[in-house]
Amino acid sequence: MAVTVLAAIAQTVIQGGGWAMFFKTLAVTAGLSAVSRALTPKVNGSMLKGTNVTSREPAASRKIVYGRSRVGGTVVYIETNDNGSGSANEYLHLVIALAGHEIDAYEEVYFNEKKIWDNGNYLLTWGDYVHIGFHKGDQTTADADLVASSNKWTSTTY
């Protein structure tokens, strides 16, 4: 766009419009540029969210995580069952993929912007309600706790 504007200015000067026309064109171009910048929405940090939110998408892309970062995952399995206790929907089983490759470690887990797990320890009373099984992507067997408590996740599913 800048090349087009410069070409138009050069053509105006060459075709005899003179320097007065050149400065008028320059003023109009600068004014339109200022108006364009004023009308463009400002980008702030809240508009860039989404990387740390867990979602359910049938065709989600695989995330690549480098270094230390806070990421949300994609729910790849969800099931509710009573686990033999007789109360329907008593347990919710979720499998959430955080990266499409092997990772080094997990450090923290957040529920609704509140930290519930930090380096192997549940915070407050979350340990009474939540069981988290972590896998770094190097396992070759299914999660034994999930196989034992889920009706549909089997030892060949991992």
**DSSP states along 135-155:** --S---S--HHHHHH-SS--T
Each residue's pLDDT tens digit, 8-35: 666 665 665 666 777 777 788 888 888 8
The whole-number pLDDT of residue 91 equals 78
The whole-number pLDDT of residue 5 equals 59
Full residue range of the structural domain in which residue 24 is found: 1-40
Q: How far is CA 133 from CA 57, 93, 138, 144, 145, in A?
A: 22, 11, 14, 10, 8
Assess if residue 154 is contained within a domain: no
Ranges of the chain with pLDDT below 70: 1-19, 43-52, 55, 82-87, 127, 157-158
What's the whole-model pTM score?
A: 0.58
Query: Structural domain tally of the chain?
Result: 2
Assess if residue 158 is contained within a domain: no
Residues 117 and 52 in one domain: yes
Assess if residue 13 is contained within a domain: yes
DSSP state of 46: G
Assess if residue 2 is contained within a domain: yes
Q: How far is CA 58 from CA 55, 61, 63, 77, in A?
A: 10, 9, 15, 11
Residues 70 and 125 in one domain: yes
Residues 36 and 82 in one domain: no
For residues 119 and 107, the answer to whether their CB atoms sit within 8 Å is yes
